[in-house]
Amino acid sequence: MSLPKISRVPASRLLSAVHDPRWPLRSAAPLAVPKRALTQSGYRRPGQPREDKPPWQRIKFDFSKGLEGITKHFKLLRQEFSDRLVGPEGKPIIEHMLEQNRVIWEFRGPDSLQEWTLSSDREIGGQSEIHLKLGKNNETCFLYGTLQSAPPRDGETRYSGYCSMRSKQPLVSFDRKKHHDWSSFNTLHLRIRGDGRPWMVNIAAESYFTHQKDDLYSYFLYTRGGPYWQDVKIPFSKFFLTHRGRIQDNQHPLWLDKVNTIGFTLGDKADGPFQLEIDFIGVCKDYAHTEDFAYEVYKRNPEV
């Protein structure tokens, strides 16, 4: 049995490749959602040929695209300047003072799907699939696919079978990182309709050291599976620290003033189709929730 041939999609043409009919590997996604290119994940499957082009041959110089980019970034810069005149984060201060709920991601049109990135273990040679489209009446996002936990036959991977959807890092002009400031809030509010599978919600905060770039704060999301919508409120104090999927011993609470991305991961070892419909993702302030952090921070087995 041979695995389907996976062609290599260069990262620089990620978005154009989606619309380009020449590239053979296309999933049957009804709406083009950028998937992480195989080279972008940084893992080259053993046995795959290396990209032998030198860097100067990989550059694709396009004058009109360059001009478009410059105008786009200067427009964003001008927008930033005018936002600063209004108030912090482009909103008047009275809004910041009175805010108790904020909807961050709402799936109401095709543009909303462009803010999300999908990935599955197909990048490492597995067979899971994940797709994203708009739900009925363009009111929700519909995440669906198939989970296959058969590990890739490369001699080194033992476990496999994961699919995930992650929001893109928000950027301001000239591709500088912008962070979500959720310090006025203390609860994550999701409105979802799943199929009974247990998902994990992962929040990535801004980190300074390179060894912290895979630090994620995770919590579980158990979906009901019924035809009814499910309102899930997860306090941020419940999120625990993981690094590359492993729970860390030294836990600390998530600081909400510099949040980069949020993601949903499925890896419950149950092969088969899955689906998750999300209406909106928001944050809210629960005055009754006074817990700072749900887990012990002192050392349980101190080395003395």
Phi first, then psi, for residue 283 (nearest 5°) are: -125, 150
User: Taking CB under 8 A as the rule, does residue 196 contact other proteins?
Assistant: no
What is the C-alpha to C-alpha distance for residues 34 and 16, in angstroms, rounded to an integer? 10
What is the C-alpha to C-alpha distance for residues 192 and 278, in angstroms, rounded to an integer? 4
Tokens of 163: 């699919």
Which residues are registered as beta bridge partners of 163?
A: 120, 266
User: Taking CB under 8 A as the rule, does residue 97 contact other proteins?
Assistant: yes
Least distance to other proteins, CB of residue 43, Å: 26
With contacts defined by CB under 8 A, name the span among 2-10, 171-179, 188-196, 202-210 that binds other proteins. Answer: 202-210
User: Taking CB under 8 A as the rule, does residue 80 contact other proteins?
Assistant: no
Q: Is 55 exposed, middle or buried (0-12, 13-18, 19+ CB in 10 A)?
A: exposed
With contacts defined by CB under 8 A, name the span among 60-68, 85-93, 229-237, 267-275 that binds other proteins. Answer: 85-93
Least distance to other proteins, CB of residue 288, Å: 8
User: Taking CB under 8 A as the rule, does residue 252 contact other proteins?
Assistant: yes
With contacts defined by CB under 8 A, name the span among 39-47, 60-68, 157-165, 177-185 that binds other proteins. Answer: 177-185
**Among 61, 63, 228, 287, interactor with other proteins by CB under 8 A:** 287
What is the C-alpha to C-alpha distance for residues 137 and 210, in angstroms, rounded to an integer? 43
**Among 106, 139, 195, 215, interactor with other proteins by CB under 8 A:** 215
What is the C-alpha to C-alpha distance for residues 77 and 91, in angstroms, rounded to an integer? 16
CA distances from 22 to 18, 39, 113, 191, 260 (A): 10, 18, 23, 38, 34
* 71 or 183: CB nearest other proteins: 183
Number of chain residues interacting with other proteins (CB under 8 A): 24
* 59 or 288: CB nearest other proteins: 288
Tokens of 293: 């952090």
Nearest 5°: the CA angle 121, 27, 24 is: 105
What is the C-alpha to C-alpha distance for residues 144 and 118, in angstroms, rounded to an integer? 11
Would you say 255 and 180 are in contact if contact means Cβ atoms under 8 Å apart? no
Q: Which three-class secondary structure state does DSSP give residue 120?
A: strand
Least distance to other proteins, CB of residue 213, Å: 11
User: Taking CB under 8 A as the rule, does residue 89 contact other proteins?
Assistant: yes
* 68 or 286: CB nearest other proteins: 286
User: Taking CB under 8 A as the rule, does residue 255 contact other proteins?
Assistant: yes
User: Taking CB under 8 A as the rule, does residue 247 contact other proteins?
Assistant: no
User: Taking CB under 8 A as the rule, does residue 214 contact other proteins?
Assistant: no
- Residues lying near other proteins in the complex (CB under 8 A) are found at 84, 87-89, 93, 96-99, 181, 183-184, 207-209, 212, 215, 250, 252-253, 255, 257, 287-288
